Amino acid sequence: MLNKLESLLATTSIELSLEQKQQLVAYVDMLNKWNKAYNLTSVRDPKQMLVRHIMDSIVVSPFLQGTRFIDVGTGPGLPGIPLAIVRPDSHFTLLDSLGKRVRFLRQVQHELGLTNIEPVQSRVEEFIPEPPFDGVISRAFASLQDMLSWCHHLPKPLEGRFYALKGVLPEDELAQLPAGIVLEKAISLQVAELDEQRHLVILKSN
């Protein structure tokens, strides 16, 4: 698995220490083990998890600005845990409303010794950020409209950003952004061994 991860990483500009690579592989091992009982992801093959969960998450790392992030609807910790491993100087709040997922996140935190994540069980609209975040991240979450509606209170006013990890670029959603929100960038992402479109949509207040 470590060799597989290294060959995938070689297609990117992301450089990681051996410890970081081992943490990513250990996370996939835990995901695979807990998945049998908890049904955390539809991806069953650990090697596919490296592509579809690890690489798919960390390709956005170079585009994140700031050090305090919240991953809303994190599920089993995607993209928050892989990002926390590759960005040890940043802090990630991992928010999910489902208890079994948050229990898994706490076990990952414990086993991998991740001091820069905080798993939280809450509905996103009820979570009070203190202080507000540099970035609000979502992957496979709702539409941009729903994300903005539910998460509007989470980022810092003005300099905070919304990072939506999408497949195909959601042109129709971008055409209907609410007043006060603008598209800063839409970045086409390449994920090794993934023959599907991936985009990072970055939104901010104007």
125 is in an annotated binding site: yes
Contact yes or no for 43/49 (Cβ under 8 A): yes
Amino acid (one-letter) located at 35: N
Annotated binding-site residue? 173: no
> 126 labelled as ligand-binding?
no
Q: Please, how many CA atoms are within 13 Å of residue 11, restricted to the half-sphere of its CB?
A: 15
Place of tokens 């061994």: 193
The annotation status of 103 as a binding-site residue, yes or no, is no
Q: Are the beta carbons of 27 and 108 closer than 8 angstroms? A: yes
Tell me how many degrees the CA angle 67-71-72 measures, rounded to the nearest 5. 145
Distance in angstroms (rounded) separating the CA atoms of residues 196 and 18: 29
Indicate the pairing of strand 199-205 with strand 181-188: antiparallel
Is 139 within any annotated ligand binding site? yes
* Residue positions forming the annotated binding site: 73, 78, 124-125, 139
* Residue positions forming the annotated binding site for S-adenosyl-L-methionine: 73, 78, 124-125, 139
